[in-house]
Amino acid sequence: MEKQLYLSSSPHIHSGETTDKVMRGVIYALLPACAVSIYFFGWPALMVLLLCTGACMATEALCRKGMGRPLSLGDGSAALTGILLALNLPPSSPWWLALIGSVVAIGIGKQVYGGLGSNPFNPALVARVVLLISFPVQMTTWTAPAPLGSGIDALTTATPLGEMKTAVMLTGRLPLPAGGEYLEYFTGNMAGSLGEVSALALLLGAGYLFWRRILTWHIPAAYLGSVVLLSGVFWLVDPSRYPSPLFHLCTGGLMLGAFFMATDMVTSPVTGKGMVIFGLGCGIITVLVRLFGGYPEGVSFAILLMNAATPLIDRFSRPSKFGTVPQKG
């Protein structure tokens, strides 16, 4: 035995799951939503996706180099942030909007805190909100879907949530339903951000993440459950003024938020109990903003606010350690 032996303290085996595999898994899970957005919104969508991904990776590389730290593109987190940011932008976004968003997401949202694992807020959402406040016109100019090959020119229109908010503010009532729109909402044939539109594609991706055990049920279930419950109460009280829970589920960024944004591991609690509290908070804030706030959509604000509460939630949701639970038997 000429070779050296490894001496180490146990365990001596590892699951094989690594950070970059987790990040890659989430990227794969987002591919159906990317494909649907390209189908409905055409080349502009593809351009936004490529721009954001590329710019986020470039910003990450520049920041790491500037800070004299090892490059971190290999962990896949910068590319993932780029895709998530793109999915949170309107398909008609100009190139500079995507570029500024990417620099904000990675630079201010992530690397100033020290990089992966250290940022308190979801980087893509930080960028989305910065853009929304700084460039409200570009961030709320929506195009109607024009499926590839349909020959339809992109028309400016409103999102379902935007229509609802305008109608309620002007008339105090919901717009009259056209009928059959839920199926369109569900498959993604509506105006909105790239990744907001198809609940179906997002659910496909989420199913993959559950199967890979990258996602646990806690946050999505608590988030969607509390949205359904709370919006359901308002709907039952006055269905002419408040839309149904189904409308809330299928429109806006709720599906994207519940499965892919709120579940960002870095910025959500680590305990099961904490994740449930986090999801409940997201759901309540989302419904309140949608129904009573100045903005038609509240998912981004809800998640960012709950991100801020995460350290506190972690502190107060510690599991009761073994041997402190009253015994039976």
Partner 1 sequence: MKLKTFPGGLHPPDNKEWSADKAIEDCPLPEELVIPMSQHIGAPAEPCVLVGQQVKKGEVIGQAKGFVSVPVHASTSGEVVAVEPRLHSSGRLLPAVVIRPDGEDAWVEGLAACDAMALTPDQIREKIRAAGIVGLGGATFPAHVKLSPPEGKIIDTLILNGVECEPYLTADHRLMLEETERLIDGVTILKRVLGVERAFIGIEANKPDAIEVVGRACAGRGIEVQGLKVKYPQGAEKQLILALTGREVPSGGLPMDVGVVVQNVGTAVAVSDAVRYGLPLIERIATVTGPGIAEAKNLRIRVGTSLSAMVDFCGGLQGDPAKIIMGGPMMGATQLSLDIPATRGTSGVLLFREGDLALVPEGPCIRCGRCVGVCPARILPTTIAAYARLDLINEAEEYNAMDCIECGCCTYTCPAAIPLVQVIRLAKGAILAKRRKV
Q: What is the binding site for partner 1 (CB under 8 A)?
A: 1-3, 5-19, 21-22, 75, 77, 115-118, 216, 265-272, 275, 314, 318-325, 327-329
CB atoms within 10 A of CB 300: 25
- Minimum CB distance to partner 1, residue 114 (Å): 8
- Minimum CB distance to partner 1, residue 322 (Å): 5
Q: If you ran DSSP here, which 8-state letter would residue 259 be given?
A: I
Give me the DSSP letters along 43-66.
HHHHHHHHHHHHHHHHHHHHHHHH
Which CB sits closer to partner 1, 104 or 215? 215
- Minimum CB distance to partner 1, residue 219 (Å): 10
- Minimum CB distance to partner 1, residue 310 (Å): 9
Tokens representing 53 are 């991904």
Which CB sits closer to partner 1, 244 or 310? 310
- Minimum CB distance to partner 1, residue 258 (Å): 17
Coil vs helix vs strand at 142: strand
Which CB sits closer to partner 1, 173 or 318? 318
Q: How far from each other are the two terminal CA atoms of the chain, in whole angstroms? A: 54
Cα 36 from chain centroid (whole Å): 16
Which CB sits closer to partner 1, 173 or 213? 213
Do 45 and 196 form a contact (C-beta atoms < 8 A)?
no
Which CB sits closer to partner 1, 53 or 72? 72
Q: How far apart are CA 17 and CA 246, in angstroms?
A: 36
